[in-house]
Structure 1
């Protein structure tokens, strides 16, 4: 696979897990080391050592001649300090470099991060690795529905490493235990042919659906300032995900234990087993969760899915490297990561690969059992936010819909939704090959991460984060009015809070329905100031 499988400006599910822009912090812009310090300013004049460190004029040492009189202890100490200050800059850089190397070596050997999983992880890996029996990775023969929504114009996914690993996963789970559903659209003839080639190799029950073009007329529209009707980008992404779930609706009599959603990732099939069957296991070794997410990486250090992930109190992410979460509020998610837990408590996540308790996506006959009504018959589907200038990832909203009504954010103790940092995936093979190494010394990042969050001001403020579903709230929303110059205005209104305020942020992205060559598949609509 190439470094980026799909171009990030496609509104199709190219990088399906989240939006490449607007939802991810640009670490490159925060590279303060790349900024050249000023040659002289008030601070360096008042603190001489800074002037010396930022200067390259000190190229050697001044010799102490024998003719100098003997010095007192305090004088010798003063001369020693002056001698250190006169050393060239590279001398100090070597010292700092040596300390860093020593810390990296010590940490990677004695304090590695997420390299020693609980015993049941090792047991499952041995079972999957030391046998050739089909179904060896599914000890309880659980029924698993695997879903994927692809945009694969060159056929590189279906014909390449992604397709090969999906076939391996099916064998590990057991063909009789799996249903594979892939929905693909707008990928051209090469994409269609590759999907058909993959279908011939699939040994389990499956649904391989290819559409030349998705009918955009079936999607909900919004009216933007100026009167045009447009389709939200998230509306589109939610729809193509739902189309991969259609066989569930068509065959409600078939019951599944787990639902595994795959992005266009490179993954270890055994890691997929661990996500499904090992995450948050009880004393009997049975996984317990509503949803369990992998952690996805765009390079060996940078976490990708910031747009869909929220910590236990609904705060957005910190800088996109370990430990990922900020220390805002009670920082329970941050603490879980520091303790090396395999079930980091969150309110939402995705991570390129996510396992769900399948009951939320299937018809249920039992009466409502909780305040959220999750016992009712209606299956959960992906969706978009209906407010005009308010955006939230469909991958966050789905988690809002499968959890019980939560109390005030600072009172939440567990949602049943977990991020599992033992399970890591990437968007190219080279990055995946490095993840076993970089995790060994990632604990060293914590101090820098916390300092960087404070400098940048992360997590950014979300006015709806603290809302509790069902309560009366005041929200500032866009009210369309064709008689106004701007086509409407922001107004504060009284209404009942939904369950998903923590997912969103101010903004609007819409798809470009009739693109020209080189044009992005989506665009930002500026948020009016009034």
Structure 2
């Protein structure tokens, strides 16, 4: 039987002509049967609201039942630490917190109750309610470095899950870079990677066997590790035209849900360039936790903070008084376990990044975290602050001391309300204690915006040239002169408005 004339004509067509016809037919079919993604387009306030932004790999949002099952699994895998932070919190603190962080909610809340309103309850009683996605103008990029972090990973992921549920999964991206671990950190990360993706939270986990060699400069190495956690920030900008409005950079610490929310709240309320917590380590000789990260932290006079009990940490008198009253403080630099960063200097000139000092140019070889604070001052984002209310620990021993359980004093004091009176939270002795219960009541001063001043002329620097001790500063400390830009009032202007609507 002979072939059909039409088939013969098609076979005589050259390859380029056949490809052109195929492309035209494909375009015609795509117009007749358009594909619509069920996943909302990601965007932030750097992108015009009307612009359409499709992800190359659209994320299918899970069902409510799927989210509930993963929540229960995450809770069961989470050990003692952070799940105890807000369990049995006093009612007045719960009320204060719900009102304080309500503007951070990144989804529509149901008419009666929500996951956010119950995050203080026992995790066994939590139920995932309906949360309709709403367009958000604020997006959060979480960057995390991990090394031999097996013990803290369950707490870390449980907190990330809960915070993302409040901020809105569609508003959050998590980037984790782990390298050189000798325990089972990598294996545990794979488990939580799968769990977290299944609830619709976007996450990238990159692992490496790289470790710092015996002859590598420690600060250069740490700067590279921190920059590795930032790779997706620039990949999403270049490939997806996606920008973020807040960066949350976390060390391997044990954070509570309200710790992260308070840092984000203070950062946005004050339009701060960098916002830090306060971290603690155990001092064997004193027998008590002391302030930890004094290699980076400097008060607004440029003086180093001390590895000491709370009343002797600051040399700057006004800062010391505010610190002892748990009030936010302006500082010249800090990191302290968690830092909330305004991402604008990463996106715009001079394009800051973590780096080691320019030793050949005479720059003091400070920590990569100190240097990025200096670079923020140089770029005009010198609104740097510390939030003493947020106390962080790296292990269970310190965590239990700085987050003691609340004791029932009702029978002794003769009235039912615990934790102070509504008009004077300082009436409770447990709230006045420095290492008091986690559900410490908020005072009015904690919500007042900070008044920022230009930076100091000189900053105390204890350098690390890498020529001597590989594990600690190896040169004599100096008073290093800062750039003229950091001492000008322009360094503390609000250049990127990240404020919370209505506050």
Q: TM-score range by the shorter chain?
A: 0.5 to 0.7
State the distance in 2 between where 1:117 and 1:288 align: 26
- The alignment status of 1:254 with 2:249, answered yes or no, reads no
Deviations 1:142-198 (A, max 9, x none): 31100011112x73343x323332333322322111111011111248332222122
Map 1:468-483 to 2 at 5 A: none
Map 1:162-173 to 2 at 5 A: 162-173=156-167
Structure 2 residue corresponding to 1:315, chosen from 284, 303, 308: 303
- The alignment status of 1:380 with 2:363, answered yes or no, reads no
Deviations 1:184-223 (A, max 9, x none): 111248332222122111232222111122597xxxxxxx
Distance 1:122 1:309, change over 3 A: farther
Structure 1 residue corresponding to 2:190, chosen from 182, 191, 196: 196
SS in 2 for 1:243: helix
- More moved, 287-296 vs 433-442: 433-442
What is residue 394 of structure 1 aligned with on the other side? 368
Per-residue deviation at 1:340? 4.0
Distance 1:505 1:207, change over 3 A: same
Question: Do the aligned residues in 2 keep the contact of 1:314 with 1:502 (CA within 8 Å)?
Answer: yes
Structure 2 residue corresponding to 1:508, chosen from 461, 465, 473: 465
- The alignment status of 1:237 with 2:222, answered yes or no, reads yes
What is residue 150 of structure 2 aligned with on the other side? 155
State the distance in 1 between where 2:135 and 2:262 align: 12
State the distance in 2 between where 1:142 and 1:324 align: 38
Runs of 5+ consecutive residues of structure 1 not aligned to the other structure: 1-114, 217-228, 365-375, 407-413, 445-464, 468-500, 513-520
TM-score, with normalisation over the residues of structure 2? 0.53
What is residue 442 of structure 1 aligned with on the other side? 434
Question: Do the aligned residues in 2 keep the contact of 1:135 with 1:171 (CA within 8 Å)?
Answer: no
Question: Do the aligned residues in 2 keep the contact of 1:135 with 1:172 (CA within 8 Å)?
Answer: no
Map 1:92-241 to 2 at 5 A: 123-124=100-101, 128-130=116-118, 132-133=128-129, 142-152=138-148, 155-158=150-153, 160-188=154-182, 190-203=184-197, 204-213=201-210, 230-241=215-226
Per-residue deviation at 1:405? 7.3
What is residue 322 of structure 2 aligned with on the other side? 336
Question: Do the aligned residues in 1 keep the contact of 2:305 with 2:315 (CA within 8 Å)?
Answer: no
The one of the two structures with greater contact order (alpha-carbon pairs below 8 A, sep at least 6) is 1
Per-residue deviation at 1:382? 0.8
Per-residue deviation at 1:322? 0.9
Per-residue deviation at 1:307? 0.9
What is residue 263 of structure 2 aligned with on the other side? 275
Deviations 1:6-31 (A, max 9, x none): xxxxxxxxxxxxxxxxxxxxxxxxxx
State the distance in 1 between where 2:94 and 2:289 align: 20
Runs of 5+ consecutive residues of structure 2 not aligned to the other structure: 1-91, 103-112, 120-127, 283-287, 405-429, 437-454, 478-503
Considering only CA atoms, is the larger Rg found in Structure 1 or Structure 2? 1
Question: Do the aligned residues in 1 keep the contact of 2:276 with 2:338 (CA within 8 Å)?
Answer: yes
Question: Do the aligned residues in 2 keep the contact of 1:135 with 1:173 (CA within 8 Å)?
Answer: no
What is residue 462 of structure 1 aligned with on the other side? none
Which one has the bigger helix percentage? 2
Per-residue deviation at 1:232? 1.9
Structure 1 residue corresponding to 2:274, chosen from 284, 291, 303: 291
SS in 2 for 1:187: coil
State the distance in 1 between where 2:468 and 2:180 align: 14
Per-residue deviation at 1:395? 1.3
